[in-house]
Structure 1
Amino acid sequence: MLRIDEILKEKNISNLEFAEMLDVSPTSASAFKSGRTKPKFDTLVKMAEVLDVDIRELFHPTKGGELLNGFVQYKDKVYTINNKKDLEGLLAAINQS
């Protein structure tokens, strides 16, 4: 369910560093990563903050596909990207340039 291990690998953060960032024991941090323990909401918020990610990025998508969310600025226009259609619109705008 949670993709903490993937995020830690992407950011080159060890389990011990992650535990220190959360102010929890390395055993607790490992339990969160493995899914043996489900973190409370306030812990999820803290995880997102210390890992510098949107809280939604902590989770694997539940309906298949990849999670798309964010903003892209291209030629002084800001595009909101929440789904594949939004991304296709941005690509169309780029291809028309």
Structure 2
Amino acid sequence: MLRIKEILKEKKIKQSEIADAMGITQVGFNKMINGNPTAENLIKISKILDVDVRELFIPTKEDESETIYVQTENGLKPIGEIKKGSI
């Protein structure tokens, strides 16, 4: 299932704004995202929303991890990882 509506809500962007940027009506945009959008349209939407196209399907940012380090006499030593956005 596409996350376009969720991303629009997060970014406080209206469907009509994306539709205008794509040169289509809001009704056309709504039918597209509720139907079967082409890869070309998904790429356009991702560029307009300034997200990786994968974000339209799954939240990739939450899946990314960041390494945690501690300072030792010999420099930094990795001690584990934490999921971004989990703090």
Same fold (TM over 0.5): yes
2:78 maps to none
Q: Distance in 2 between matches of 1:29 and 1:46?
A: 12
Aligned CA-pair RMSD: 2.1
Q: Which amino acid aligns with 1:6?
A: E
Q: Distance in 1 between matches of 2:50 and 2:9?
A: 14
Residue 32 of structure 1: CA displacement?
3.2
2:20 maps to 20
1:67 maps to 60
Within the candidate set 32, 53, 56, 2:54 is matched to: 56
CA distance 1:15–1:68, change in 2 (3 Å)? closer
SS in 2 for 1:38: coil
1:7 maps to 7
1:63 maps to none
Q: Which amino acid aligns with 1:44?
A: L
2:32 maps to 32
Q: TM-score, normalised by structure 2?
A: 0.68
Count of matched residue pairs: 71
Same amino acid, percent of matched pairs:
35
Q: TM-score, normalised by structure 1?
A: 0.62
Instruction: Please identify which structure carries the higher strand content.
Output: 2
Q: Distance in 2 between matches of 1:68 and 1:8?
A: 16
In the alignment, structure 2 segments of 5+ residues that lack a partner are: 72-87
